[in-house]
Amino acid sequence: MQKNILSTMAWLTVSLSATAAVAQTPAQPYPSRPVTIVVPYSAGGPVDNFIRALGQQLSESWKQPVVVLNKPGANEIIGADQVAKSAPDGYTLFAGTEASLTMSPHLYKKLPYNVETDFVPISQLISLPLMLFTHKGTPANTVSEFVELARKAKAQGKPLSYGSSGAGGIAHLPMVTFEKQEGISMTHVPYRGAANLIPDVIAGQVDAAVLAVSVIEQHVKTGALKPLAVSSEKRSVALPEVPTFKEAGVKDIHAIFSIGLLAPKGTPAAVVDKVASSTRTIIATPDFRQKNIDAFSYVPVASSPTEFKAFLGSNSKLQAERVLASGVRLD
């Protein structure tokens, strides 16, 4: 009996020692294997191109592959949902915009994810200012003149029109704000993306729109499109002759969208901080900034997790007001 007790105690001692040894073994530094960044758009667009450039630099910094996985569709919902349901270990990240993070929660009654409870913000990487523009045949040359033109057209029973890349999207809701702030009413013409919208504005079939500076820059420089104002604190590097809304004497319509990184809720704070720190360092690098930010008239942000969380909260309130004013529901 005593022999059995001694044997059992010896076994427990060895077992506990082994467990303690495992517990004391330091965790592998992050990342110790490939990291996947889910992009909710097809390859070749602004979000995809930027994240691929960033991913390449992260890979070199971390000495681990960074894989970009394209999951397009449903206003970014498909990609967001996949990451929300991924393991919270920092090896699956989401590169999203306001579309899935602050707009969709107000456009859909039910989403397969909850931004607040399923994600942890890492960093708002960059912002992309949008520019209000019209076709070259429009008699208006300033925002104020365009507003007056819109008022007269409405009074004559022939309201001006504006296009967007989709109802309830980034290029639609700011125009709802514009109408409300200026007390005008125009006809909204939704398109499936900017590729079809731009030619119709050039042809004068649609009177105006707001799109990213990088998307319309070439058409402005050839004179096919007439820019009226850019929605940002400073003028665009690419089109410095175009005033901001504030400079034009009109209240800004906050026509900006951002690209941010998020991780599944429960991801260790140390991992979140490391990703945020790494992206901040890369974005501050002059060569990276010149090639991947300044060249496309983007605005570098590289916020902290706390700052990004605050941005999402305030932007969600703004989008809620816009969605209510637009009357748009997507479910």
pLDDT tens by residue, 201-242:
999 999 999 999 988 999 999 999 999 999 998 999 889 999
Q: How confident is the model at residue 63 (pLDDT cuts 50, 70, 90)?
A: very high
**pLDDT tops 50 at residue 10:** no
Give the separation between CA 49 and CA 288, rounded to whole angstroms. 13
**pLDDT tops 50 at residue 112:** yes
Mean pLDDT throughout 13-23? 43
**pLDDT tops 50 at residue 24:** no
What pLDDT was estimated at residue 22?
40
Contact between 23 and 30 under an 8 Å Cβ cutoff? The reply is no
What pLDDT was estimated at residue 214?
87
What pLDDT was estimated at residue 330?
87
Give the max Cα distance, the chain: 105
CA-based nearest residue to 46, from 240, 297, 236: 297
pTM of the model: 0.84
Give the separation between CA 78 and CA 273, rounded to whole angstroms. 26
**pLDDT tops 50 at residue 181:** yes
Q: Picking from 26-30, 59-63, 72-76, which range would have the lowest pLDDT averaged per residue?
A: 26-30
Q: How confident is the model at residue 195 (pLDDT cuts 50, 70, 90)?
A: confident
Tell me the chain's radius of gyration from C-alpha atoms.
Answer: 25
CB-count exposure of residue 17 (10 Å: 0-12, 13-18, 19+): exposed
Instruction: Give the domain ranges of the chain.
Output: 35-127+257-326, 129-230
Identical fold at 35-127+257-326 and 129-230? yes
> Is 35-127+257-326 in CATH node 3.30.540.10?
no
What pLDDT was estimated at residue 132?
98
**pLDDT tops 60 at residue 6:** no
Alpha carbon 153 to its chain centroid, in Å, reads: 35
What pLDDT was estimated at residue 331?
79
Over residues 257-274, the pLDDT tens digits come to 999 999 999 999 999 999
Multiple choice CATH, 129-230, 3.40.1350.10, 3.40.50.720, 3.40.190.10, 3.40.30.10: 3.40.190.10
Alpha carbon 103 to its chain centroid, in Å, reads: 11
**pLDDT tops 50 at residue 20:** no
Alpha carbon 25 to its chain centroid, in Å, reads: 39
Please give the share of the chain, as a percent, with pLDDT higher than 70. Answer: 92
**pLDDT tops 80 at residue 142:** yes
Instruction: Report the mean per-residue pLDDT for the chain.
Output: 91
Mean pLDDT throughout 157-161? 97
Give the separation between CA 244 and CA 250, rounded to whole angstroms. 9
